[in-house]
Amino acid sequence: MTFTADDPAVDQVRVSVLVAVPPDEAFRIFTEDIDLWWRRGLRYRIAAGRAGTIHLEAGVGGRLYEAFESGGDTQLTETGRVTAWDPPRRFVFEWRAVNFAPGETTEVEVAFEATASGTRVTVTHRGWNRIRADHPARHGMDAEGFLRTMGRWWGDLMGGLREFGAGRGG
């Protein structure tokens, strides 16, 4: 007996943007310049106010990590590794938030499609239903951490329930 929803539609968040550069250039800028465009602040980076840099190593097995100085040492926090690398069309990497338990991971796919005026870049963040639901939720976590944890508990209810919640009062 299994309760896991395998329907990808209930297990992901998807966001797109149109960029006025061709796909090969979009792919290159996205990956090589990641530290230049990756937003700053606690919501996006662990180092926040300190001088930290985001790195994405090209190719399968490459790491996405943040490096920052702490007490005279350089610390690395790895978010995940590249699992598919197909420039200039797509790449996929694992995504583990700092509060995920060992072995817990989600997946981010970035796709680049040519359009008349440039490239459509689509980020799909999926795999929330693989996150263990009985993981201790709130212990020692700040508000941001708790917010992210909620995603794990609710991950397999994504999609349809989201619409359901949106329809409140409508």
Q: CB of 119: closest distance to other proteins in angstroms?
A: 9
Euclidean distance between CA atoms 99 and 19, whole angstroms: 33
Torsion sign across C-alpha atoms 154, 157, 163, 167: negative
Q: Are 68 and 53 in contact (CB under 8 A)?
A: yes
Interaction of residue 143 with other proteins, rule CB under 8 A: no
Interaction of residue 3 with other proteins, rule CB under 8 A: yes
Give residues 13-52 in contact with other proteins (rule: CB under 8 A).
13, 15-21, 25-26, 29-30, 33, 36-39, 43-44
Taking CB under 8 A as the binding criterion, the range among 67-75, 76-84, 86-94, 150-158 that sits at the site for other proteins is 150-158
Q: Residue 59 — left, alpha, or beta (φ > 0 → left; ψ -120 to 50 → alpha)?
A: left
Q: CB of 109: closest distance to other proteins in angstroms?
A: 11
Q: Are 66 and 53 in contact (CB under 8 A)?
A: yes
Give residues 74-133 in contact with other proteins (rule: CB under 8 A).
121, 123, 125, 133
